[in-house]
Structure formats: C-alpha cells, structure tokens
Amino acid sequence: MSPNSIIWVGYFSKIALMKTSLDIASIRNDFPILNEVINGKQLVYFDNAATTQKPRLVLDALSGYYEHYNANIHRGIHHLAEKATAAFEQTRKRMQSFVNAEFSEEIIFTYGTTDGINLVASTYGRKFLKEGDEVIISTMEHHSNIVPWQMLCEEKGCILKVIPIDDNGDLLMDEYEKLLTERTKFVSVVHVSNSLGTINPIKEIIEKAHAVGAKVLIDGAQASSHFHIDVQDLGCDFYALSLHKIYGPTGLGILYGKKDLLNAMPPYRGGGEMIKEVTFEKTTYNELPYKFEAGTPNIADVVAAKYALDYVDTLGKSNIATYENGLLKYATEAVSEIEGLKIIGKAKNKVSVLSFVIDGIHHQDIGVLLDQQGIAVRTGHHCTQPLMNRFNITGTSRASFAVYNTTEEIDLLIKGLHKVKRMLG
Amino acid sequence: MTINEIQDELISDFELFDEWESKYEYIIDLAKQFPPLEEQYKTEENIIKGCQSRVWLNAYMESDLLKFEADSDAIIVRGLVSMLVKVLSGHTPEEIASADLYFMERIGLHQHLAQTRSNGLAAMLKQMKAYGIAYQAKSVNQ
C-alpha cells in the first residue's frame, strides 16, 4: 500500500495541509518497515521516542559492511582491516561535526546514552566526588540518569538533589538556583524529556552550574534527532546520546566529553584496545578516545551510523523540526477534542511527543487496543517513575512523531482512540 | 470439568469471533463479570507487578482443592486473568502444577503471555503453578 492510499479520515482537514519543504511520501519510501502490515492494517508507527525506524541506506550500509569489508579494526595490516578502520574513524569525524565537538577524540563510542552516563558516573564521579558533595538531577529524568547517580552517591556518601517541575512539565529554574551551592559538584539533566517532550533551557542550566564550579552532563537521547546540537555553544562538559533514536542502528551511542576532563578520568573498562602496554606488574593506558573503548567495538553499527547522520543532515534538521512541530500541533489539537483526555506535558517548548491519559481507562488497555488497529504507541511509566509520581499517575499513553509520520496517520490514531473509548465505555 | 475440558470450552467460545473487536469485547465482558478481589487481599504480598499493569493473586485451599481469586487494574489483563482463574481454580494442587496451558495460544492471545515485563500475566501463571507445587509438597509432608 502506498502512503497516499492511507485512509483519509479528515476530521481536521482544515489544518491538514501543512507546508513543508520535505517530500514526505518520498521519505516514507526510504523506510521499508513502514510497509509492514500489523493485524491486517498498515503499520502506524508512533513509538519514535523509544526508537526510530531505519532508512534503506543505513540497512544497505550494514549489509555492505558485512559483505565487503568486515574485519577487526585498528592494528590490522590487511586491506579489509584498513578499510573497516577508515570507515569506523570516519563516523567518529562525522559525529564530531554532528555535535560540533572541537576534537574528534572527544567522541567516545558507547552502547548508548545509558552507557555514556554510567561511564561518567563511574569514572569522573568515582575519582572526583567525595563525601558530602552534591549531585543535581531533575524530576523528569529517565531512570538512566537517576540510578547511576544514586549508585555513585551511595558509594561515595554524596547527596542527590532534584530540581522540581511545574504542572506543565517545565523545570522550576528558581528552585534550581536555590539548589546550587559550593557543595554542588555535578549536574546531570535531560535535554528533552522522553515522557513529556519538554525542551529544557540547558544552556542556562550549564552556565549556572559552571558558576558554582560544577561539571555538567546532558542526557541528549531525545534531543539529537529533533534539533541541532552544538556542544561548544552549549558549553556542557559531557553530552550523551544514542544513535538508534536518530534513524541509526541499535546498541550504539556516543559520549562527548571535554578533552581535558576525559584525559583526567580513569578508564572505564579494561581490555584490548584501551591499553598502551601491559605487563603483569603494570598497565599503561591508550590515548583518547581509545582509553574508553575496550574490546572489539560495534564496528558494523558505527560504520552504518554515519549514513543515518548523512540522511538527517540531507533532510535538514530545521526542516525536520518544522515538520515535526506541525505534526505535534495537529495532534495536540486533534486529541483535545476527545472527552476525558488530558495531555501530560504542556511545556512551552516541546518536541513531537504527545503523552496523555484518558479518564477511567488504563493506559495498557489503550496500548493493546490501538495495537490491534496497527497503531504502535508506548504506554506505561516510560522509565520515569518519579515523574509519574509527580503527576500522581501510574503511566501515560505516548505518541511520538518522526519525520516519516503524517497527519493522515494522526487521524487514524484519533479514530482508534474513539474506538478504544467505545469498547471500554 | 478437567483443566483441559475448560480450556477446550474457552477455545470453542472464542471460535465464534472472527474479528479482533468482538474477541476483545468478549474479553472486556469477561472482565466486567469477574468478581473483584476484596480489598483486604490486595496486599503487597499478593501483588504481581508488571511494568504497566498490576495483578493481584490470592490462593487458598478448600476441601483438597486449590482455589484462586485475582484482579488487575487494567481491564483487558483482568479479562485474561479471569480466564486463567477459570481454567486453574478449583483443581488439586497436582493437577495445577502439571497443567499444560494451551488455550491462550489457540485463541491467539499468546502475545499477552509473552509480554513478561509489561502485564504481569506470565508471572501470575508461574505463581499459580508455584502454589500448586507448594501445596502439593505440603500435603505430602503432612
């Protein structure tokens, strides 16, 4: 079924025709998975905040690597090893420009955002934080940006402080300022909330943290697919992201860190690649970035990730953001017509994440019955249980939009939600 | 009726439905007819936490038969829970411990049992069988 043949429901046709410089029908053709039929219906994929789908050129890059130049990288002297090493390091350069890092060795390949945060907590945190020091996170953090700091605080006797939020899902910046003292040694805050879509004023957060001498990590898992990231302009000390949320492969992320900090940090994992010289008496460690990349890395996915970044940059991040904002506006207006539906997360600055609850209906029932209609949303606490507690709910249903989604698909979601309400009413 | 006879009856009930909507409407009806678990049994001890929905399971012996009462905060899971209770409750611990449950797969609802983390259903089934084994051991020891 072609994208144009999706049933046009047209409840809200007055705002359906969004102006975009992107050819969405052609973009949809780049993603083979969008042709999948689920429970007899063409897939409507609204779970992009969990992971995005992959364009054909990323899939081709993956199989191309395995078919033509699979080899273990660095140190190999044969042709395949050289080619694989060059492709691997090319992605590092590409990633450097993607986040505008000053040096390519400031880009460390990780398993994902979670891995990057754990790396910093385990190395920088263990070496430089001591008893009585304070770490600040926020109420809207993903468990990945809570638990590593809790583990660190427990081990070192540090104190974890939490920036509160208002009912719209915006950080209370006045309260943040009150938390900052000379005891604050680290601030780790999410750039964009996965549950609410809130875009946080991280530049201001970073400046204020630096003013008291604290280092700052930004969890960029949800931000990096939606808008341009410039780590030098932001001034953050660390920035962690995942490639699978930027149309790239799973199991791969990067940690950006300022060179002098990365140099001062002890290694994370021991093994091959990260060493300079090993004797049973003493091991000396390799230089950046290899010091933090023990073992054979995820070569194929690193190689393919470059193509995902190329794809995003070819479409243009500002074009993507404009289009996704249009989808969010359309969906927000459309769901507001549904009786008993309440949007969770009404921040002024949001990415295309729409979290909601419906009176008297459990989010899991919404998810199961939408799935039967071929519509994939995420339901539950989204790994942000403290945030759900803040709103006094156990979970939400979350539709998150990517560049290949359409207003026609949003109409199907609205129709699907009406059916859910009818069935459970 | 034996466990398998009840399973077969459920399978034939569901054969009437060829559309997902009627199938799920039936599950929702089962949930609505299923007596709620009394609040006193909705304890931390009886809770089986899924990632998304919660399930409570209470077990007790009554004249050599192991009986179950259960509940969930999500209605579809509640309907599925009612089916598991219908199939397994009121049999001997031996029968429950050794039961082979095939009805969910035959009805086409096996994905709900496969979602181990999200709905607590698989954990509930495991717990029901564990009660069967525990009460079996208890009767042997007596």
The 10s digit of each residue's pLDDT in A80-94 is 999 999 999 999 999
- At A110-156, the pLDDT tens digits run 999 999 999 999 999 999 999 999 999 999 999 999 999 999 999 99
Phi, psi of A179 (to 5 degrees): -75, -25
Q: How far apart are CA A34 and CA A27, in angstroms?
A: 11
Evaluate if residue A221 carries a pLDDT over 70. Answer: yes
Q: How far apart are CA B34 and CA B49, in angstroms?
A: 20
pLDDT of residue B108: 87
Q: Is B51 a catalytic residue?
A: yes
Q: Evaluate whether A111 touches A137 at the Cβ level (below 8 Å).
A: no
Stretch B17-25: mean pLDDT: 93
Sign of the dihedral through C-alpha A148, A244, A215, A119: positive
Going by C-alpha positions, the residue among A272, A350, A310, A359 that lies closest to residue A95 is: A310
pLDDT of residue A307: 98
pLDDT of residue B109: 87
Taking an 8 Å cut-off on Cβ atoms, the answer to whether A362 and B74 are in contact is yes
Pairing of strands A184-190, A215-219: parallel
Length of chain B: 142
Range of A6-10, A294-298, B107-111 with top mean pLDDT: A294-298
The minimal CB distance from A362 to the residues B51, B75, B112 is found for B75
Evaluate if residue B114 carries a pLDDT over 90. Answer: no
Q: How far apart are CA A236 and CA A100, in angstroms?
A: 12
Going by C-alpha positions, the residue among A326, A321, A339 that lies closest to residue A410 is: A326
Q: Which strands, in side-by-side order, build the sheet including A184-190?
A: A107-110, A253-257, A238-242, A215-219, A184-190, A134-138, A159-163
Q: How far apart are CA A342 and CA A258, in angstroms?
A: 42
- Whether chain B has a CB inside 8 Å of the CB on A363: the answer is yes
pLDDT of residue A7: 37
- At B72-85, the pLDDT tens digits run 999 999 999 999 99
Evaluate if residue A6 carries a pLDDT over 70. Answer: no
Q: How far apart are CA B48 and CA B41, in angstroms?
A: 12
Stretch A239-268: mean pLDDT: 98
The minimal CB distance from A364 to the residues B20, B25, B52 is found for B52
The domain over range B3-37+47-141 is classified in CATH as 3.30.300.130: no
| Domains delineated in chain A | 3-46+316-424 (3.90.1150.10), 59-313 (3.40.640.10)
Estimate to the nearest angstrom the gap between the alpha carbon of B115 and the chain centroid. 15
Evaluate if residue A39 carries a pLDDT over 90. Answer: no
Phi, psi of A255 (to 5 degrees): -115, 120
pLDDT of residue A12: 41
Residue A2: pLDDT band (50, 70, 90) is: very low
pLDDT of residue B115: 67
- Whether chain B has a CB inside 8 Å of the CB on A369: the answer is yes
Stretch B114-137: mean pLDDT: 84
pLDDT of residue A10: 41
Please indicate whether residue A77 or residue B52 has the higher confidence score (pLDDT).
A77
Question: Three-state SS for A73?
Answer: coil
pLDDT of residue B137: 82
Stretch A230-259: mean pLDDT: 98
> CB-side exposure of A239: number of CA atoms within 13 Å?
27
Query: What letter would DSSP give residue A392?
Result: T
| CA distances in angstroms from A8 to A13, A22, A139, A172, A354, listed in the order given | 9, 20, 40, 42, 21
Q: How far apart are CA A368 and CA B74, in angstroms?
A: 10
- Whether chain B has a CB inside 8 Å of the CB on A39: the answer is yes
pLDDT of residue A1: 37
| CA distances in angstroms from A194 to A217, A382, A400, listed in the order given | 17, 7, 9
Residue A31: pLDDT band (50, 70, 90) is: very high
Evaluate if residue A339 carries a pLDDT over 60. Answer: yes
Q: How far apart are CA A391 and CA A294, in angstroms?
A: 41
Evaluate if residue A346 carries a pLDDT over 80. Answer: yes
Q: Evaluate whether B33 touches B50 at the Cβ level (below 8 Å).
A: no
- At A43-73, the pLDDT tens digits run 999 999 999 999 999 999 999 999 999 999 9
CA angle A359/A365/A368 to nearest 5° reads: 145
Which chain A residues are Cβ-neighbours of B21 within 8 angstroms? 372, 419, 423
Nearest residue in B to A419, CA atom: B21
From A152's Cα to the closest Cα of chain B, the distance in A is: 25
- At A8-26, the pLDDT tens digits run 334 444 344 455 789 999 9
| CA distances in angstroms from B75 to A8, A367, B32, B106, B138, listed in the order given | 31, 12, 8, 21, 34
Quickly list DSSP for A95-157.
Answer: HHHHHT-S-GGGEEEESSHHHHHHHHIIIIIHHH--TT-EEEEETT--GGGTHHHHHHHHHHT
Residue B18: pLDDT band (50, 70, 90) is: confident
Quickly list DSSP for B66-129.
Answer: EEEEEEESSHHHHHHHHHHHHHHTTB-HHHHHT----HHHHHT-HHHHH-HHHHSHHHHHHHHH
Mutation test of the interface with chain A: which of B22, B25, B32, B53, choosing the one with the most A Cβ atoms within 10 A? B53
Mutation test of the interface with chain A: which of B25, B30, B52, B113, choosing the one with the most A Cβ atoms within 10 A? B52
Taking an 8 Å cut-off on Cβ atoms, the answer to whether B76 and A39 are in contact is no
pLDDT of residue A15: 43
Q: How far apart are CA B58 and CA A420, in angstroms?
A: 30
Taking an 8 Å cut-off on Cβ atoms, the answer to whether A423 and B118 are in contact is no
The minimal CB distance from B77 to the residues A39, A364, A372 is found for A364
Name the catalytic one among B1, B15, B36, B51: B51
The minimal CB distance from A365 to the residues B20, B25, B76 is found for B76
